[in-house]
């Protein structure tokens, strides 16, 4: 059992908890203080982890999907049993309000249960033969050892989104969480151990990201890398994958547009825009970063939206009733303030917020709404990752769609309208992997999630979520 405020958390290698002298310190962004530390691995240990995973592969893949599913349900049971403790750790290392951390644990449990069942449906098929002397089968096989790299913004659920389908498909997986938020992965590893996941099938490594990625990329026994993080790092992985022709799944950056049409239900539009923008302090790859409102309802929308943003409670996520916690660190706060300054210089008005929260050592930014933001502003072109809502107006649907698509990113987009024809026109035209119609939180276990353009390759969740961990094979049966 992990005790908070204590140093010496360990990594989990081949069924053993391993300590090292090279520790990583973990900072609470609500007060800027180190509150825990965790062991890191060296290159030799990464290599050994891949060897152990490779050794564990034959027995794990030989289990039936039903047997693996039973174990995954047990991991989910453990997460549920320890949900309060895990949620508290997420808030301590990431900063998000406790209610949102609890939601993250709940969603992680749901992902585990989804893939515990979905692996039973990794169907192959029998194809009607072209030659009467042959039969053609298609079968699915687990790809092999998987290296999974996760980010800090949803530290548990985005790790589980990789680990659960990999395990369900029959692949051993080695998880490398973000250095800022490694602790909830330590608790996840404890849940894996308690559930009886065999040694080597799930391992946790923490440490130098470049070194770990290099071993994942160059070691031929690691057959797949699944990554969630910035587009820049993803591009580095694409380059590095060439030598081994290593398959990659990439969940990269986003810069979601949100379109509010004059035929929307204004209260629904404001409520869902608040979720799409301010959940997780705006530090979400699917956060609404560019808000386009039709001119005829611009003032009415702004009045309600600014009032809702002003009502948000900002503070330490462990205190009850908080809506917005701190940003992850000083650099994130500085870059958010620079985006506000840039927008204002180009003519935007600050309708609320705009400043660092005073009298705290934590990295808090006031929830900010910017009015009349011009398209060339940094916050309209680059990922924001902060509680900053830049709003601008548009005249026609075509104009809104053109401006929405004028970004290299394509992870998610939002549309607020009551017109069914418009819903479908927009869904077809928007260049993004997920479209939320009157829905500010569109991600769910049972539907595919992923990006187009610079937002990545492949899909997580849904039935598609297994695909990245399965090889499709054709078996030609002759001799009839």
CA distance 432 to 450: 8
Pick from 453, 428, 344, 424: nearest CA to 388: 344
Q: Which is nearer to ligand NAP, 56 or 159 (CB)?
A: 159
Q: Which is nearer to ligand NAP, 42 or 77 (CB)?
A: 42
174 forms part of the interface with ligand NAP (CB under 6 A): no
Using CB under 6 A, pick the residue from 152, 202, 394, 469 that binds ligand NAP: 152
Q: Cβ(372)–Cβ(335) under 8 Å? A: no
Assign 80 to helix, strand or coil: helix
Q: Shortest Cβ distance from residue 177 to ligand NAP (Å)?
A: 6
Q: Cβ(426)–Cβ(410) under 8 Å? A: no
- Residues 310-369 close enough to bind ligand NAP by CB under 6 A: none
Q: Which is nearer to ligand NAP, 289 or 417 (CB)?
A: 289
Phi, psi of 70 (to 5 degrees): -60, -40
CA distance 231 to 444: 23
211 forms part of the interface with ligand NAP (CB under 6 A): no
Q: Shortest Cβ distance from residue 409 to ligand NAP (Å)?
A: 8
384 forms part of the interface with ligand NAP (CB under 6 A): no
11 forms part of the interface with ligand NAP (CB under 6 A): no
Q: Cβ(455)–Cβ(433) under 8 Å? A: yes
Pick from 174, 173, 168, 245: nearest CA to 207: 174
Using CB under 6 A, pick the residue from 228, 368, 432, 445 that binds ligand NAP: 228
Q: Shortest Cβ distance from residue 166 to ligand NAP (Å)?
A: 16
Active site residues per annotation: 251, 285
Structure tokens at 183: 């602790």
Which x/- pattern over 408-447 shows residues binding ligand NAP (rule: CB under 6 A)?
---x------------------------------------
Using CB under 6 A, pick the residue from 143, 233, 241, 308 that binds ligand NAP: 233
Q: Cβ(254)–Cβ(261) under 8 Å? A: no
Q: Which is nearer to ligand NAP, 170 or 229 (CB)?
A: 229
**Interacting span for ligand NAP (CB under 6 A) from 35-43, 105-113, 136-144, 451-459:** 451-459
Using CB under 6 A, pick the residue from 15, 106, 124, 236 that binds ligand NAP: 236
Q: What is the DSSP string of 311-372?
A: T--BS-TTSTT-SB---SSHHHHHHHHHHHHHHHHTT-EEEE--SBPSS-SS--B--EEEES
CA distance 28 to 33: 6
Interface residues toward ligand NAP, by CB under 6 A: 149-153, 158, 176, 178-180, 209-210, 213, 228-230, 233, 236, 251-254, 285, 383, 411, 451, 455-456
């Amino acid at each position: 059992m992990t005790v908070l405020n204590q140093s010496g958390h360990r990594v989990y290698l081949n069924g053993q908890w391993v300590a090292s002298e090279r520790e990583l310190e973990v900072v609470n962004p609500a007060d800027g203080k180190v509150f825990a530390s965790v062991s890191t691995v060296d290159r030799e240990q990464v290599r050994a982890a891949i060897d152990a995973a490779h050794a564990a592969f034959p027995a794990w893949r030989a289990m039936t999907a039903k047997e693996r599913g039973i174990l995954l349900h047990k991991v989910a049971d453990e997460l549920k049993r320890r949900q309060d403790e895990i949620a508290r750790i997420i808030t301590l290392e990431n900063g998000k309000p406790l209610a949102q951390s609890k939601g993250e644990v709940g969603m992680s449990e749901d992902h585990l249960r989804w893939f515990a069942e979905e692996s039973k449906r990794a169907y192959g098929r029998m194809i009607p033969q072209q030659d009467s002397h042959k039969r053609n089968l298609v079968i699915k096989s687990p790809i092999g050892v998987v290296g999974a790299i996760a980010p800090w913004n949803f530290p548990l659920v985005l790790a589980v989104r990789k680990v659960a389908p990999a395990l369900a498909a029959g692949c051993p997986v080695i998880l490398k969480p973000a250095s800022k938020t490694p602790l909830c992965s330590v608790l996840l590893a404890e849940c894996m151990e308690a559930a009886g996941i065999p040694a080597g099938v799930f391992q946790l490594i923490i440490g130098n990201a470049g070194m770990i990625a290099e071993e994942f990329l160059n070691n031929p026994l690691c057959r797949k890398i699944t990554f969630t993080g910035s587009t820049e790092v993803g591009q580095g992985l694409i380059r590095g994958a060439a030598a081994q022709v290593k398959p990659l799944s990439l969940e990269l950056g986003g810069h979601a547009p949100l379109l509010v049409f004059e035929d929307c239900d204004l209260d629904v539009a404001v409520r869902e825009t608040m979720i799409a923008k301010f959940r997780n302090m705006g530090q979400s790859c699917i956060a609404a970063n560019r808000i386009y409102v039709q001119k005829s309802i611009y003032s009415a929308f702004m009045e309600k939206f600014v009032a809702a943003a002003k009502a948000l409670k900002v503070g330490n996520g462990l205190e009850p009733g908080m809506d917005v916690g701190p940003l992850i660190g000083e650099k994130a706060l500085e870059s958010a303030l620079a985006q506000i300054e840039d927008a204002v210089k180009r003519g935007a008005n600050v309708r609320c917020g705009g400043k660092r929260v005073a009298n705290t050592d934590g990295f808090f930014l006031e929830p900010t709404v910017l009015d009349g933001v011009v398209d060339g502003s940094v916050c309209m072109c680059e990922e924001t990752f902060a509680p900053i809502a830049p709003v601008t107006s548009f005249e026609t649907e075509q104009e809104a769609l053109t401006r929405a698509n004028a970004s290299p990113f394509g992870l998610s987009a939002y549309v607020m309208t009551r017109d069914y024809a418009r819903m479908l026109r927009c869904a077809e035209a928007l260049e993004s992997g997920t479209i939320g119609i009157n829905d500010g939180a569109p991600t769910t276990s049972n539907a595919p999630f992923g990006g187009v353009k610079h937002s990545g390759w492949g899909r997580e969740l849904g039935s598609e979520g297994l695909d990245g961990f399965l090889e499709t094979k054709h078996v030609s049966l002759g001799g009839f």
